[in-house]
Amino acid sequence: MNPIVDVLIIGAGASGAAVAWSLAETKMRILCLEQGDWVRPGDYPANGRDWEARLWSDFALHPNQRAGMADYPVNDSNSAMKIANYNGVGGGTILYSAHFPRFHPSDFRVRSLDAVADDWPIDYATLAPFFDENDRMMGVAGLAGDPSGPPREPPLPPLPLGKTGERYARAMNELGWHWWPSFAAIATTEYDGRAPCINLGHCTPGCAQGAKASVDITYWPQAIRAGVELRARCRVREITTDAQGMASGAIYYDEHGVERFQPAEVVVLACNGVGTPRLLLNSTSSRFPRGLANSSGLVGRNLMLHPWPQVVGYVDDALDGDHGPMMVLCSKQFYETDPARDFVRGYMLALTRVTGPVNEAVTSAAAGRLPWGKEHHRIFRRLYRHRLVIGIGCEDLPEAHNRVTLDPVLKDGHGIPAPRIDYTISENSRRMMEHAIARAEEILVTAGAANIFTSRTVLNTPGHLLGTARMGDDPARSVVNAWGRSHDVKNLFIVDGSVFVTSGGVNPIATIQALALYIADQMKRRLASLFD
Ligand SMILES: Cc1cc2nc3c(=O)[nH]c(=O)nc-3n(C[C@H](O)[C@H](O)[C@H](O)COP(=O)(O)OP(=O)(O)OC[C@H]3O[C@@H](n4cnc5c(N)ncnc54)[C@H](O)[C@@H]3O)c2cc1C
Ligand code: SF4
């Protein structure tokens, strides 16, 4: 048996890294078990000319397609949207686009404001100092003064707008709609040992330059220097409990596939909105027959995935194409509820650059825009670098039937039951999507684009996995309390995207990490009486 640790963190992704770094100052014995490995920057696809092809093989966004040693299969055949993730040190931040908006204050109060879903047990003001701390740790670039949200002072200057951004900005000014340069966790100057962005594109399958802030190069080196141990290639099978019903540690498979037991005083789950409910549901015992922390029956329920339509158009003159980070501008013009519309809540418009030439060729050939034969290259040149793409982040409200359960048949490489996803897009979301698609088309037309087409759900994006162990004050209606502690098991905490009560209409990582830092802070404040 391994020696006991004070805190066992499971999962070394966005939230696991933040909580490890924050708790490190206590000098407790802290261990993190992560099922995947470290990724070496030299191995990133960006170093080779086949970088786009590798987005469909070893760096695919969908775990079943990647099917690496660290990946567990996901049965999402009954889901309107597919799961995207990355399993390794860094978690989703290895593959994310580093778009870094925050929740609005209204996102924490949707029941009070719109009579739907539930209010969060905490508010924006509670998280504000942790949002700021996280911006410093990740190195966020942006421009202060965005009128659409509370004050924000990013530590780094904004990314350049480029030709694409200027084109969008002119169109938005003509329409009179809100826009702001996107906040991005991308170094625009040297920052904390990281080199600045050199606008190569390729951000999604990892940034070999180290400009994109994945947590393997931000939080983890500092946490490890401060004494935290991170054990990679260790997959946790289940959390164990003692005679008092407290978490006692975890059973995991080490890098050689050997089953081990890791005892711990406190267990912190950071496996994301699919991995965390999977682990809790796999942790059954006579005392917890429905899975751990599940007396409410809510573990796995209320899954939110953010429907993310994309609207594409082509302009005559060549723009940036894929030369530079994907995000350019962001609009919150339609973010808040407007009673004149036929849906509640709202959406963010992400006005972006595009991916590379192979993606252009494959998608355009499939859509019939790009013929084979002697016209192929001439038409390709009129498409590549002429494309504009607007992604739309739609707020997805929690619904109990959207859920993660255990698949009765599918198992991972260690024989552990795999997750199954059942998910439909609600009527409110569908109305919101149609409204947003029409607005995005207006923007593209105003920007001079033609040949416009829409994908209502884009395969394998956006990888936002939220809501499956939500926080709240009432143990019958939530899984963890207002500071991430399980209602049922007093020394079990959850810090990842599972604890979201609602999903907002923005990319979630800034809010996930601010929450993880806030929960760590609450744990530190209550160390003396943590389990009372
Ligand atoms: C392609 C893509 C693009 C994205 N772009 C953006 C973006 O631009 N902006 C944004 O805000 N968000 C983006 N996201 C989402 C963002 O990356 C996630 O919301 C975020 O990483 C989730 O953090 P987390 O801590 O909840 O989980 P993760 O970062 O997913 O970390 C979970 C970790 O737990 C590990 N784990 C799971 N189960 C076990 C187990 N049983 N034993 C041991 N380890 C385990 C996993 O291997 C993983 O490393 C994107 C995601 C993807 C996939
Ligand atoms: S564009 Fe910038 S952030 Fe993206 S991969 Fe290149 S250097 Fe990294």
pLDDT at position 459, please? 62
- Kindly give the number of the ligand 1 atom that is closest to the alpha carbon of 70: 47
Alpha helices (runs of H) in 260-330, residue ranges in sequence order: 272-282
Pairing of strands 259-269, 492-494: parallel
Pairing of strands 310-314, 259-269: unpaired
Is pTM beyond 0.85? Reply is yes
Q: Which of 85, 202, 251, 396 to mutate to test the pocket of ligand 1 (most atoms within 8 A of CB)?
A: 85
Ligand closest in space to the Cα of 85: 1
Question: How confident is the prediction for the chain on average, in pLDDT?
Answer: 96
pLDDT at position 532, please? 62
Q: Ligand 2 centroid vs 248 CA: distance in angstroms?
A: 42
Q: Ligand 2 centroid vs 384 CA: distance in angstroms?
A: 19
Determine whether the shortest distance from the Cβ of 201 to ligand 1 is under 6 A.
no
Q: Per-residue confidence at 461, pLDDT binned at 50, 70, 90?
A: confident
Q: What is the pLDDT of residues 224-238, one digit of tens each?
A: 999 999 999 999 999
Listed in sequence order, the residues at least 6 apart from 184 whose beta carbon sits closer than 8 Å to its beta carbon are: 98, 99, 100, 140, 141, 142, 158, 159, 325, 327
Ligand closest in space to the Cα of 94: 1
Q: What is the pLDDT of residues 472-514, one digit of tens each?
A: 999 999 999 999 999 999 999 999 999 999 999 999 999 999 9
pLDDT at position 456, please? 87
- What are 314's strand-pairing partners? 387, 450
Q: Which of 54, 95, 97, 186 to mutate to test the pocket of ligand 2 (most atoms within 8 A of CB)?
A: 186
Q: Ligand 2 centroid vs 187 CA: distance in angstroms?
A: 9
Q: What is the pLDDT of residues 100-148, one digit of tens each?
A: 999 999 999 999 999 999 999 999 999 999 999 999 999 999 999 999 9
Q: Ligand 1 centroid vs 325 CA: distance in angstroms?
A: 19
DSSP annotation string for 96-149: ---B-----GGGG-HHHHHSSS---SS-HHHHHHHHHHHHHHHT-B--TT-TTS
In degrees and rounded to multiples of 5, residue 265 shows phi and psi of -80, -35
Determine whether the shortest distance from the Cβ of 97 to ligand 1 is under 6 A.
yes
Distance, CA of 514 to CA of 137 (rounded, Å): 11
What is the torsional sign of CA 512, 23, 530, 251? positive
pLDDT at position 530, please? 66
| pLDDT over 70 (residue 28) | yes
Q: Per-residue confidence at 69, pLDDT binned at 50, 70, 90?
A: very high
Could you tell me which residue, 367 or 243, shows the higher pLDDT? 243
Ligand closest in space to the Cα of 51: 2
Q: How far is CA 347 from CA 37, 120, 191, 380, 506, in A?
A: 35, 19, 32, 33, 7
Listed in sequence order, the residues at least 6 apart from 232 whose beta carbon sits closer than 8 Å to its beta carbon are: 12, 34, 36, 37, 38, 88, 89, 255
Q: Which of 52, 203, 214 to mutate to test the pocket of ligand 2 (most atoms within 8 A of CB)?
A: 203
pLDDT at position 62, please? 95
* Nearest alpha carbon, ligand 2 atom 8: 207
Q: Ligand 2 centroid vs 352 CA: distance in angstroms?
A: 14
* Nearest alpha carbon, ligand 2 atom 6: 200
Q: Ligand 2 centroid vs 486 CA: distance in angstroms?
A: 39
Q: Ligand 1 centroid vs 171 CA: distance in angstroms?
A: 34
Q: Per-residue confidence at 162, pLDDT binned at 50, 70, 90?
A: very high
**Ranges 86-95, 242-251, 360-369: which has the least confidence:** 360-369
Q: What is the pLDDT of residues 77-93, one digit of tens each?
A: 999 999 999 999 999 99
What is the torsional sign of CA 279, 406, 118, 145? positive
- Kindly give the number of the ligand 2 atom that is closest to the alpha carbon of 200: 6
Token pair in block for residue 38: 């470290």
| pLDDT over 90 (residue 427) | yes
Coil, strand or helix: which one is 63?
helix
Q: Per-residue confidence at 460, pLDDT binned at 50, 70, 90?
A: low
The dihedral region occupied by 359, where left means phi > 0, alpha psi between -120 and 50, and beta the remainder, is alpha
Q: Which of 142, 156, 152, 162 is nearest to 194 (CA)?
A: 156
Ligand closest in space to the Cα of 214: 1
With a Cβ cut-off of 6 Å, ligand 2 is lined by 46, 186, 197-203, 207, 209, 211-212, 324-325
- 111-116: long-range pairs with CB below 8 Å, 24+: 113/337, 114/337, 114/344, 114/345, 116/344, 116/345, 116/397, 116/428
The dihedral region occupied by 402, where left means phi > 0, alpha psi between -120 and 50, and beta the remainder, is beta
In which residue are the tokens 């929450």 written?
A: 515
Determine the distance from the C-alpha atom of residue 313 to the mean position of all C-alpha atoms in its chain, rounded to a whole number. 27
CB 516 within 8 A of CB 107: no
Q: Which of 24, 30, 37 is nearest to 91 (CA)?
A: 37
Could you tell me which residue, 338 or 459, shows the higher pLDDT? 338
pLDDT at position 299, please? 98
Angle, alpha carbons 201-203-206 (nearest 5°)? 135
Q: Per-residue confidence at 200, pLDDT binned at 50, 70, 90?
A: confident
Q: Ligand 1 centroid vs 305 CA: distance in angstroms?
A: 13
Distance, CA of 455 to CA of 356 (rounded, Å): 18
Residue 415 CB: number of other CB atoms within 10 A? 8
Report, in angstroms and rounded to the nearest whole number, the Rg of the chain calculated over CA atoms. 22
| pLDDT over 70 (residue 292) | yes
| pLDDT over 70 (residue 201) | yes
* Nearest alpha carbon, ligand 1 atom 45: 11
Token pair in block for residue 85: 């993730």
CB 346 within 8 A of CB 335: yes
Q: Ligand 2 centroid vs 198 CA: distance in angstroms?
A: 6
pLDDT at position 404, please? 98
Q: Ligand 2 centroid vs 202 CA: distance in angstroms?
A: 6
- Kindly give the number of the ligand 2 atom that is closest to the alpha carbon of 187: 3
- Kindly give the number of the ligand 1 atom that is closest to the alpha carbon of 273: 26
Q: Which of 9, 31, 32, 35 to mutate to test the pocket of ligand 1 (most atoms within 8 A of CB)?
A: 35
What is the torsional sign of CA 149, 346, 341, 343? negative
* Nearest alpha carbon, ligand 1 atom 49: 91
Q: Which of 332, 458, 338 is nearest to 391 (CA)?
A: 458
- Kindly give the number of the ligand 1 atom that is closest to the alpha carbon of 36: 47
CB 161 within 8 A of CB 169: yes
pLDDT at position 134, please? 98
Q: Which of 97, 194, 212, 320 to mutate to test the pocket of ligand 2 (most atoms within 8 A of CB)?
A: 212
**Ranges 306-310, 322-326, 376-380, 488-492: which has the least confidence:** 322-326
- Kindly give the number of the ligand 1 atom that is closest to the alpha carbon of 506: 11
- Kindly give the number of the ligand 1 atom that is closest to the alpha carbon of 279: 41
Listed in sequence order, the residues at least 6 apart from 276 whose beta carbon sits closer than 8 Å to its beta carbon are: 11, 269, 270, 468, 469, 494, 496, 498
Distance, CA of 431 to CA of 409 (rounded, Å): 36
Distance, CA of 303 to CA of 501 (rounded, Å): 10
pLDDT at position 306, please? 95
